[in-house]
Amino acid sequence: MATLPVVDLASIAFLDRMPRESRELVLVNSSRIEYPGGTIAFQAGDADRADILEKGFARLYLTSAEGRQTTIRYVHPGELMGGLLVMGGVFDGSVQMIVDSTVIHLDLLTVRRRVEVDPALGNALAADLAQRYAHCVRTIALHAFGSVVQRVAFDLLDRACRTQLSGGHLEAAVSQQEIADGIGSVRGGGGGGPPCGSGPGVPPCAGGTGPLPNGVVDSCSSRAGGSGGCCGCPSWSSVSLLSRSVTTKS
């Protein structure tokens, strides 16, 4: 006989994991903050805080001593940011608002006090932390075992977010070799590959567009100058990302 999981890891909004009374009490002294896209709302060294993303899209990322970045999580509306900090943990990373976003900024002292006396809030936090752990496992699996399309999509979104920090636009212009390096793949030499459009999910480089897996690449068309598309011919491929364009060029 099947048993229900102790912790429901489905995509349930953080506040919806609690009864109304618990929601109202955990929101005492909270406030709403609006951020333009590209804002760094939190970075290593800032005071501990906890926020619920009400609308928009955000990412949590780490930065190395050399300035390299790696995204560890994308945040969707309804999700909690800072559960680790609520429980006294340390987060040596940053939070970037990818698009215009609104957060519910929780009063950390209120939340910590409520955790000690409200089992519903404690269960909601435990479920959130379990969900974060499960997400980390999936992210590791993606980098290790994900398909090329999945890894390219993750890499392009990561690059676009980094570009937004410096240029203000959610876009990235990278070579196919850089993408191959970013996902740990190998790019063959131009001219000797299979014909355009051959193989499952491979778009034609000339004469229009082709259906692609997961809708990652929208089009691939020949242009003058440059070389080395999927068949060695000149090509550009546009990737639709949050209604903006991330362009890769060879």
Architecture of the domain made up of 15-145: Sandwich (2.60)
Q: Which tens digit of pLDDT belongs to each residue from 153-178?
A: 777 777 777 676 666 677 767 777 66
Q: Once rounded to an integer, what is the mean pLDDT over residues 10-35?
A: 93
Q: Once rounded to an integer, what is the mean pLDDT over residues 34-62?
A: 93
Q: Where along the chain do the CATH 2.60.120.10 domains lie?
A: 15-145
Amino acid at 156: L
Q: How many other CB atoms are found less than 10 A from the CB of residue 240?
A: 13
Question: CB burial class (10 A; 0-12, 13-18, 19+) of residue 191?
Answer: exposed
CA dihedral 143, 149, 153, 155 (to 10 degrees): 40
Q: Is 27 or 145 the better-scoring residue by pLDDT?
A: 27
pTM of the entire predicted model: 0.63
Cα-trace Rg, the chain: 21
Query: Cβ distance 75 to 62 under 8 Å?
Result: no
Amino acid at 41: A
* Coil, helix or strand at residue 233: coil
Query: Cβ distance 204 to 194 under 8 Å?
Result: no
Nearest alpha-carbon partner for 50 in 30, 73, 20, 77: 30
Mean pLDDT taken over the chain: 73
Residue 237 Cα distances to 103, 148, 204, 216, 224, angstroms: 34, 15, 11, 10, 14
Q: Is 167 or 78 the better-scoring residue by pLDDT?
A: 78
* Coil, helix or strand at residue 192: coil
The runs of H, that is alpha helices, within the chain are 20-26, 83-86, 108-117, 119-145, 148-167, 176-182
- pLDDT of amino acid 165: 66
